[in-house]
Amino acid sequence: PSPKSFQPNGASEEALRCEIEELKQKDLALDREIAQLLSEGYSLEELDKHISLLHEYNEIKDAGQMLLGKLAVIRGVTTKQLYPEYDLELSD
């Protein structure tokens, strides 16, 4: 096969151009958001710390959800039915 056969057709090229443009717009929006936070007195280190803590929180929450799910299976109930027993809100 020639290298030309691996090139995307016109429609695919246009889709890629659109996707690239969308990514550029998202990048600009994130840059504006970061600039806004910096102007409000936040530091990049502080923002990095918050992001790190959010990742840690989500990992812990996922582990808790997994354990609740396994307990629900063992007990033959739904996870939702366990929430009141552990004083959890459905939004937790």
What's this model's pTM, rounded to 2 decimal places? 0.54
For 2: left if phi > 0, alpha if psi spans -120 to 50, otherwise beta; the answer is beta
Q: What is the mean predicted confidence (pLDDT) over 28-55?
A: 91
Tell me which residue has tokens 């990048």. 27
Statement: residue 85 has pLDDT above 70: yes
Per-residue pLDDT reduced to its tens digit, 40-51: 998 888 888 989
Band of residue 9 on the pLDDT scale cut at 50, 70, 90: low
The Cα 70–Cα 14 span in angstroms is 47
- Four-residue CA torsion sign, 23, 27, 33, 34: positive
Domain locations in the chain?
A: 9-42, 43-91
Query: Which pair of structure tokens corresponds to residue 80?
Result: 């939702």
Length of the chain: 92
Higher pLDDT among residues 68 and 10, named by residue: 68
Q: What are phi and psi of 74, to 5 degrees?
A: -60, -45
